[in-house]
Amino acid sequence: MTLQVNINGTLVPKEDAKISVFDHGLLYGDGVFEGMRSYGGRVFRLEQHLRRLWDSARAICLDIPISREEMADRVNTTLQANGIQDGYVRLIVTRGIGTLGLDAHLTRDPQVIVITDHIALYPREYYDEGLKIVTASTVRNHPGALNPRIKSLNYLNNILAKIEGHQAGCVEALMLNHLGEVSECTGDNIFLVRDGILRTPPISAGILEGVTRQAVIELAKEEGIPVEEITLTRHDVYSADECFLTGSAAEVVPVVMVDERTIGEGKPGPITRRLIDRFHRLVRSSE
């Protein structure tokens, strides 16, 4: 079956899914997006994803031309059209067609695109045995220049750090902020466990407010695990008992080595495994 892509409310085969080369989303990375997961044909925390999308759009003065209800309907319609139960959803809103200049006021017709597909971000063994990651020299965007809480189409900052990770033989890389504090990874939020306490960088560290991140914080509290959103350094990472990453595509994945330092016992720890199990039960209960 040919994958169908939803462009402005119309389903078209992926080979025919096109937008103008004059769209500022292409020319300047001017637009916003969300990456979501579906389980059993239903998008996990769709409302939270749409709220973040609208927040990002407001931050860059982009008017989304449809309502949240219509956006949700397009997402669900596209999933159904492709017969996808457990999959990935990429929701994109571009600035629209404009001139070969930066003036957003000269653009028109923002494009609303919904792509659904199957995804396996990491091989199964990474979830069983854990990831090895490195710290990138590329610094996370300064929040005073381009706020990382805006999920924009310009991901070059993350891409450069991801390239560093691959060059070091790793599939992910840790990013520090302009103060040298732990921020997040190129596509995932980071958590540490030390003495039974779950720690993760605060929003002020220059991170994306991850939907999966928030779900894991809620699950940890339900499990009676203390949670701290606190400033962290690489020393905290190296001396952690456990480490794991969270993201819509990645879900919850353990980390067992950072910068050639073994984390804890070098295998996924008990709290990490406990939260992975609780997360899997949560997403399945949402079906």
Cα–Cα separations (whole angstroms), residue 262 to 63, 127, 130, 134, 156: 47, 16, 11, 12, 29
Order across the sheet with 42-43: list the strands. 10-13, 4-7, 112-117, 87-94, 31-39, 42-43
CA-CA distance, 187 to 112, in Å (whole number)?
A: 22
Asked whether the beta carbons of 179 and 239 are under 8 A apart, the reply is no
Q: Could you tell me which residues come within 8 angstroms of residue 93 by beta carbon, excluding any fewer than 6 positions away?
A: 31, 32, 33, 53, 57, 62, 64, 110, 111, 112, 113
Q: Which two tokens stand for residue 255?
A: 């980390």
CA-CA distance, 138 to 131, in Å (whole number)?
A: 20
Catalytic residue among 18, 151, 162, 267: 151
Q: Is the dihedral of CA 231, 148, 56, 189 positive or negative?
A: negative
CA-CA distance, 141 to 136, in Å (whole number)?
A: 13
The question of whether 162 is a catalytic residue gets the answer no
CA-CA distance, 72 to 92, in Å (whole number)?
A: 13
Asked whether the beta carbons of 232 and 182 are under 8 A apart, the reply is yes
Question: Where in the sequence numbering do the catalytic residues fall?
Answer: 151
